[in-house]
Chain A
Amino acid sequence: MFNILKIAGRNLLRYKRRTLLTSTLVTLGVVAVLLFISASGSFKNMMIGQITDSMLGHIQVHQKGYLAAIDSLPLNLNMKENQVMKIREILEKHPEVEAFSPRIKIGAMFSNYAETTNIRLNAVIPEMELKTVPLLRDRIIGGNSKILLQKGEILVPELLAKGMKVQVGDDIVLVATNKDGSVNGQSFRVGGIVVGISGPGGRDGYIHLEDAQSLLRMEAKEVSEIAIRLKSMGRLDTVSTALNSELESIRNKMDKPVFEVHTWARLTPFFNIVKMIDLMTLFIKIMLVAIVLVSIMNVMVMSVYERIREIGTIAAMGTSPNKILLLFLTEGTLLGLLGATLGVMVSLIAITALRAAQLSFDFGQQKGLVLNPTIGVADMVAISAIVVCIAVIGSLQPAWKAAKMDPITALRHT
């Protein structure tokens, strides 16, 4: 095998310019794919992180049917106290759950005593909420982001605060209708301004859970949803499936499941952008495959054509067709390997340069997001493996042709 590698390597060096051109083409393809994967992956992870870690959590549990009616924030679909207790028990025992946070989602009227507008609110227990969505702290401006909020305080969405001209320390009034239809009002002090993010719920305000219970005159401790944070995001689907099957066993009188479990992907339209990014990555990979296939096949066809007499000579000497096949396959593989190695090296340099450049971009409400491209070893290995496999496939037809060549015809070739 070493001799085959030696001959293949020397044949690549024999046609230096051609080898350089082909490997450069493969290198450029690999660089394009790896840079795209790293930049889009960085954007994707950053956005997913923002959405899950500052708003949604990784998984949410609702009463069945709540999500379908979420636009009206239906209080009659809240989970009852005993149901919440059951879920708490399950979540507290679950080894993969890091934290969870019960929430009441309310629609209310917001008044600064001069003007009134609508507001959507998340009523939370601050300590539990911060454990579940730790980046929420970073979205708070002008308040005490360490404790999020105290009873009697409200975190007002940034745009609403601007529109209603309210500042931290101002008093406002919230008026809400409870599930029986009676209206109640309660005054709050603005404890902070919360910066909006893209997606549903990104422009909600925050109050304390107990304040919401008193505003809505709830006798029982009901909640609209429970947001869950996992120890590892990589285990999302497994844990979600496990939780779903566990909660499905809790059934109502009509023997229907009481709860529904959703991952973040079902809760935000950003997931469609994620899917689009993945689709684009796939297309870019297909383009890379095409580049590698065409360039390697072309160069190997040329290589076989130019060495027909040489093939005839080694065949005449008794070299088996399998070894001739292996000689050309090795040559194509080495070419692919060279392109992939150079591509990975150039990509790593380019990614390091991009990180150093601290390029920033805006996405919806979020301004000045810093592009922080990273590439995993798995991606580098996968792309290199694709290139090498395609190089082998691209070399197969020319190598097969060389192996099947009639020695007499080959020796007569001029």
Chain B
Amino acid sequence: MELVTAQDLKKTYTGDIPIEAIRGVNFTIQPASFVSFVGPSGSGKSTLLNMIGCLDPPTSGTLTVAGQDVSLLKVKSAAAFRGKNIGFIFQDFNLIPVLTVFENIEYPLQMVQNRPAQERRKRVKELLAAVGMVEQGHKFPHQISGGQKQRVAVARALVTQAKLVLADEPTANLDRETALRIIALMKDMRDKFGTTFIFSTHDPKIVENAEKVFVIEDGTMRESNSGGERHV
């Protein structure tokens, strides 16, 4: 069964001049896949990511994520759905500066899912070990490097056992070596936890590693696989 299914998905921003950001795309994403949305700036890839992440409702069409039609979710239900099913990784890491590494990873379990303390501690320790940050747990974000921050962000996205992790330009602020390590880490996490990763990126390193690449241009989408491209 597909993890994400989009049918004739459209997004139009209304204003003085209406903008059709997504013009009726269809696609499916399987569980535990490593998918990349690529395209120039303003092509609509972030809009698509936001719709899959239940941050922005589509104007029309249907969008199913983890078996739930998310196109009609209200604000509170969307927040609850995100908290349960979706993890986010941001270009600027977006760690909470007043929380330690441990507390940042613990945040979704405590503030979103209200899990018991014992379970939280166990899960955070597992994730800290998985991303190689056990020694840094007590440090605050300003005390660790950019690569380490992104590791923490990966751990935070995975700590709730989310089925899907959406990553918006996750390597844009990292040097090549660190970026490659983060990509390897995310692939490793995908293998370990069976989580689907969807990236919006310009980074060829991620594109090379993606198992499925969707090219988005002017709100339309085509799938680009090794050796061939097809419109979807």
Contact = CB atoms under 8 A, between A and B. Distances in A.
Interface string B70-87: 000001100111111011
A10 interface: yes
Interface string A291-317: 000000000000000000110111111
Interface stretch (B23-31, B34-42, B105-113, B173-181): B105-113
A126 interface: no
B31 to A, nearest CB: 20
Nearest to A327: B111
A14 interface: yes
Contact of B107 (A309, A315, A317, A408): A317
Contact of B79 (A309, A315, A408): A315
Nearest to A2: B110
Contacts, number: 65
B98 interface: yes
A323 B108 CA distance: 12
Interface string A1-34: 0011001001101100000000000000000000
B82 A317 contact: yes
Contacts of A214: none
Q: Could you say which interface size class chain B belongs to?
A: 20 to 34
Contacts of A116: none
A408 B55 contact: yes
Given A316-B82, A316-B88, A317-B83, A10 B98 contact: yes
A181 interface: no
Given A319-B111, A320-B76, A323-B111, A314 B82 contact: no
Contacts of A313: 88, 90, 94, 96
A321 interface: yes
Contact of A411 (B82, B83, B90): B90
B90 A318 contact: no
B15 interface: no
B227 interface: no
Interface of B: 50, 53, 55-56, 75-76, 79-84, 86-88, 90, 92, 94, 96-99, 107-108, 110-112, 156
23 contacts: A4-B111, A7-B99, A10-B99, A314-B107, A314-B111, A315-B79, A316-B53, A317-B82, A317-B83, A317-B87, A317-B107, A317-B112, A318-B79, A318-B82, A318-B84, A318-B108, A319-B112, A320-B76, A320-B79, A320-B112, A321-B75, A321-B79, A411-B94
Given A3-B110, A318-B82, A318-B108, 19 more contacts: A13-B98, A310-B94, A314-B96, A314-B107, A314-B111, A316-B53, A316-B82, A316-B88, A317-B82, A317-B107, A317-B108, A318-B80, A318-B81, A318-B83, A321-B76, A321-B79, A407-B55, A408-B50, A411-B90
| 7 nearest A-B residue pairs (beta carbon) | A318-B83, A10-B98, A313-B94, A318-B82, A318-B112, A316-B88, A318-B79
